[in-house]
Chains A and B, each alone.
Chain A
Amino acid sequence: MSSSDVAFAFKNGLRFFGREIHPAEKAEIMERPAEAVPLPESAPHEGGNSTTSVLRFITCGSVDDGKSTLIGRLLHDTKQILEDQFAAVARASRSRGFAAPDLSLFTDGLEAEREQCITIDVAYRYFATPRRKFIIADTPGHEQYTRNMVTGASTAGAAVLLADATKGLLAQGRRHLYLAHLLGIREIVVAVNKMDLVDYAERVFDAAREAFSAFAAPLRIPRLSFVPLSALAGEMVVARGARMPWYRGPTLLEILEGIEPERAARARPFRFAVQLVQRANGERRYLGRVAAGTVHVGDEVLVLPAGRRTRVAAIHTLEGARDMAQAGDSVALGFTDELDVSRGDSVAHAARPPRSARALDATLVWLAEQPLVPRARYLLKHATRTVRARLAGVAHVVDIHALEPRIGRSSLAMNDIARVALELAQPVFADAYAEERATGAFILIDAASGHTVAAGMIR
């Protein structure tokens, strides 16, 4: 996308103020443009070498979908739950009058949560199989779910959406799918849970799959898979069980083991945000992590905001010099030219650079209890750069229940999702979030309180 295209798109974004909303835009909320970089076509769930060693995923479900039981089941059946934890859960289950240990209690909350009747937005759970380490973002489903889910989804490479087999596709499931998609999750697994309550009937699973597929079609989610399961009985989660011989696909764990989100990140143009500059052995080194793509010694790169081209002279690590680094690697770069580069500057693929933007058209999710104050001072943190930001306008707020845009709002409250225009005191070096998460995401910080108040995705 050229900068004039961007400017045009930005003006387009502003044109919504004070006029009737265009029907095309209403559709656009659910129909974002197709992903710029195609994913590998290979079948995701069949053997092969796992190229990603860690998968972060989020579980989304409503209060009674059995999310906690599913997480408890994953931890239990992959042997992550140890005897003292199990004993504590068995004790708690007995005191609540249950005959058998309730697996959902493994993810039970804190004393502060019980006392104050609140739920902390996200807890992280860990399990590992011989193939992979998993990090689950466990977000409570009932309260403040937009904020919670957005937080958990921001670092997730995959989402497991729980659907209750006895209920089919509810409005809640549509919202979870929308939010997972909004946050750029390319791998979505719909787990049709509670199959034990519908006699493990294939037609129930088929109906749920059809309903979800129809709803998801306009989103063009790169990979959407479905698995029938019973978290309670442990069918098709880790073990296949014996009750659903009609299902020939992979278990939930097999699906999760086959997902490879990092492969796509390596194929994208090189992005690197400078965290620190170091002088070592008479030369300057630029410390940071490769956000996207790969870089080799000798590559021509563009340094922003200087706008200077240079070549990568060296890639340093504690273990010594390397020939190349790829998305996710923390390294130190050396360049062939002496440049004035500092923290917050950006190094990028010379032919496919990010755009330098002082005005952003973005989707904003408001996270703070204090509403947005249009005239307040905010700081915007994008990659390693923090700049002053000002709200130029709210185009529309998405009605999360109807999944439709509503115009005429100038402020935002907690859990609101809005399309906004922002003006920045200095430029950031950005890509569209849909193309590159690492350079398309930002947070807003209230300059007075220092608190994080919003999450943003550049359009």
Chain B
Amino acid sequence: MTPDRSHLDWLESEAVYILREVAGECARPALLFSGGKDSLVLLRLAEKAFRPGRFPFPLLHIDTGHNFPEVIVFRDRRAAELGETLLVRSVEDSMRRGSVRLREGESRNAAQSVTLLEAIEELQLDAAIGGARRDEEKARAKERVFSFRDGFGQWDPRRQRPELWDLYNPRVGPGEHVRVFPISNWTELDVWQYIAREKLEVPSLYYAHRRAVVRRNGLLAPVTGLTPPRAGEAVEELCVRFRTVGDVSCTCPVASRAATPAEIIAETAAARVTERGATRMDDQTSEASMERRKREGYF
């Protein structure tokens, strides 16, 4: 009798198909790798798609310079273990070039778009593979698997290409590119179930640990050298974990005692707040802030 496929098998097979389509159709792709859990899932999927061969693309990280140090260490170790090429392009370089100019205290998160587009231009990429998921946010829900970007890197929701069956269209002209999202159809829970099934190592920040935080706008903001407490804020040491790992200045942990993937799965299944709602200060600035950033070339 034929074995039944689990939903993870289904999602994995779809993502492998998408990665192979990128390799078959695009001349100069790269895979965006931050060391975060979604991009770690992408790396495992790339192994499923291409091993024993090498990946047909380099890994590319857009580094804000404000990442958690353990994530950067993890990123470099993982790329070395895989024996794949890791390219790092830095927001700080864009600031030195003058292409990124931030107000005092402004997060570098949105500025990643500028550095990413500069890297795409420099490396002449025609495809950038990312780990965004449609369940993350409502602008993402309307995103294609192969998402066209014009010469300015803009996402124009109105001019998206219709995407039918699994017949993806990555055709671009000079200066244009596509973003490709192989795990579009995955939810946060699927990602953790896959991490558990595949026994993927993820940065320690994802598991419960004690950390100095302050309570700010209903979130727990981490206290770091970069993000000191503001006047009047009381620093507490709580048992927390990160649901997303991004720029230090805008990523918040949640109170948690989950120390294993299984415990995180149990917690995620019972979660009362969305991944981004619990963790991202940048998404709270406006109802449409993800949508606006995407239109400007964000991941």
Binding site for B on A (CB under 8 A): 49, 51-54, 82-85, 88, 108, 110-113, 116, 118, 120-126, 128, 132-133, 135, 147, 150-151, 154-155, 262, 266, 275-276, 278, 280-281, 287-289, 294, 317-318, 324, 326, 328-330, 343, 367, 379, 381-384, 437-438, 441-443, 445, 450-452, 455
For residue B184, which residues in chain A have a CB less than 8 angstroms away from its CB? 124
* B interface residues, tally (CB under 8 Å): 62
Contacting pair A280 B53 (CB below 8 A): yes
Contacting pair B160 A120 (CB below 8 A): yes
Contacting pair A51 B4 (CB below 8 A): yes
Binding site for A on B (CB under 8 A): 2, 4-14, 16-17, 20-21, 23-24, 47-53, 134-135, 138-139, 141-142, 157-158, 160-167, 169, 171-173, 176, 184-185, 187, 189-190, 271-274, 277-278, 287-288, 291-292, 295
Contacting pair B24 A455 (CB below 8 A): no
Q: Which 9 A-B pairs have the closest CB atoms?
A: A84-B277, A450-B171, A330-B16, A111-B288, A53-B7, A154-B164, A275-B20, A133-B7, A330-B13
Contacting pair B2 A266 (CB below 8 A): yes
16 A/B residue pairs, CB under 8 Å, sorted by A:
A54-B7, A82-B271, A82-B272, A82-B273, A110-B157, A276-B24, A326-B2, A330-B16, A330-B17, A438-B166, A441-B164, A445-B169, A445-B171, A451-B169, A452-B161, A452-B164
For residue B10, which residues in chain A have a CB less than 8 angstroms away from its CB? 53-54, 133, 328
**Within the assembled complex, what's the spacing in Å between the Cα atoms of A338 and B288?**
55
Contacting pair B187 A441 (CB below 8 A): no
- Other-chain residue from B7, B21, B52, B53 in contact with A275 (beta carbon distance below 8 A): B21
Closest B residue, CB atoms, query A380: B167
Contacting pair B16 A384 (CB below 8 A): no
**Within the assembled complex, what's the spacing in Å between the Cα atoms of A379 and B171?**
11
For residue B172, which residues in chain A have a CB less than 8 angstroms away from its CB? 450
**Within the assembled complex, what's the spacing in Å between the Cα atoms of A150 and B164?**
8
For residue A443, which residues in chain B have a CB less than 8 angstroms away from its CB? 164-165, 167, 169
Contacting pair A343 B24 (CB below 8 A): yes
Closest B residue, CB atoms, query A384: B24
**Within the assembled complex, what's the spacing in Å between the Cα atoms of A455 and B162?**
9
Query: What's the minimum C-beta distance from A382 to chain B, rounded to whole angstroms?
Result: 8
Closest B residue, CB atoms, query A127: B187
Given contacts A113-B157, A455-B162, contact A324 B2 (CB under 8 A): yes
Contacting pair A126 B185 (CB below 8 A): yes
For residue A52, which residues in chain B have a CB less than 8 angstroms away from its CB? 5
**Within the assembled complex, what's the spacing in Å between the Cα atoms of A294 and B3?**
12
For residue B166, which residues in chain A have a CB less than 8 angstroms away from its CB? 155, 438
Contacting pair B135 A126 (CB below 8 A): yes
For residue A383, which residues in chain B have a CB less than 8 angstroms away from its CB? 167
Query: What's the minimum C-beta distance from A88 to chain B, rounded to whole angstroms?
Result: 7
Other contacts beyond A51-B4, A450-B173: 4, CB < 8 A? A83-B272, A83-B273, A262-B5, A437-B165
